[in-house]
Amino acid sequence: MDNLLNSPHLDRLIDLALEEDIGSGDVTTQALIPPELQGEAHIRAKAILVVAGLPVAARVFQKLDAKVVFAAAVDDGQEVAPGTVLARLTGPVASILTGERVALNFLQRLSGIATFTRAMAALVAGSNAVLVDTRKTTPGWRALEKYAVRLGGGHNHRLGLYDAVLIKNNHLTAVGSIGEAVRQAIARAHPQLKIEVEVTDLEGLEEALHAGADRILLDNMDDATLRQAVELTGGRAWLEASGGITKERLPKVAATGVNFISMGALTHSAPAVDIHLRLVRTWM
């Protein structure tokens, strides 16, 4: 998180969120709260959850008003009970109230992903399968959402189009065949990049293995076919199960012997968790 906090990307994202919410000014707070009013507020969990995003929330207030002191009471990645104080804020009440919604949006979304991922990761515990995310992330939020996945016990697949070769169905349509696409990628991509290709049946798997793919994505195969794929591969390549992965199916897929299970729902369908901020005292 340290590198992310120091990145201009995060600052741009926070600036955009504050600009979107505040616009020309927080008219309610400006009408009701005198600038000199000081106060203390607590951010609390309202459900069992895995905390993610406290440094981001702190950054929101830091950028809005450096006089707001944000003191985290727990660590990112920690599972907490309902009612747990996650952070205490002191400083100008107007600034605390103006930054409240943006800070909570980051916390609720990221903690939701971490909480959901923790539950899914528990379903494959004890197997050899690694639960990974996908690029199905909120535009602009990818680094944050993948950070939340890691806090939840999941692992990151490629971060973008630049750090791994993944030959998908449309690439295959353009090139003409699995074998030719893999051979071209091996010849032209950087030698340190792993070559992964998507296949939909065992015939495609055999073609990918023969061409020398490092990792093979088994797309929308049923559990019986996944087991056959593992047997056929015999450790010659890493196998990733993808498509149609649900909470109910996860343990069954893990039991087939695949190396990875990619689950887009970790980021695109994780529900936000309930976290609130309450003002507990004020003074002049």
The verdict on whether 67 is a catalytic residue reads no
User: Which residue pairs, CB below 8 angstroms and at least 24 apart, start in 65-72?
Assistant: 65/91, 65/92, 65/95, 65/99, 67/91, 67/92, 67/95, 68/92, 68/95, 68/96, 68/99
Q: Are 86 and 106 in contact (CB under 8 A)?
A: no
Catalytic one among 26, 100, 133, 219? 219
Question: Following DSSP, what letter does each residue of 171-214 receive, concatenated?
Answer: HHHHHS-HHHHHHHHHHHS-TTS-EEEEESSHHHHHHHHHHT-S
Smallest Cα–Cα separation from 111: which of 160, 43, 60? Answer: 43
Smallest Cα–Cα separation from 231: which of 245, 218, 244? Answer: 218
The verdict on whether 11 is a catalytic residue reads no
Catalytic one among 26, 76, 100, 198? 198
Measure the CA–CA gap between 182 and 127, rounded to whole angstroms: 29
User: Nearest 5°: phi and psi at 137?
Assistant: -120, 165
The verdict on whether 63 is a catalytic residue reads no
Measure the CA–CA gap between 48 and 63, rounded to whole angstroms: 29
Measure the CA–CA gap between 267 and 115, rounded to whole angstroms: 11
The verdict on whether 136 is a catalytic residue reads yes
Catalytic one among 63, 88, 136, 150? 136
Smallest Cα–Cα separation from 214: which of 233, 231, 235, 237? Answer: 237
Would you put residue 79 in left (φ > 0), alpha (ψ -120 to 50) or beta? beta
Catalytic one among 65, 79, 88, 101? 101
Measure the CA–CA gap between 142 and 148, rounded to whole angstroms: 10
The verdict on whether 219 is a catalytic residue reads yes
- Which residues are identified as catalytic? 101, 136, 168, 198, 219
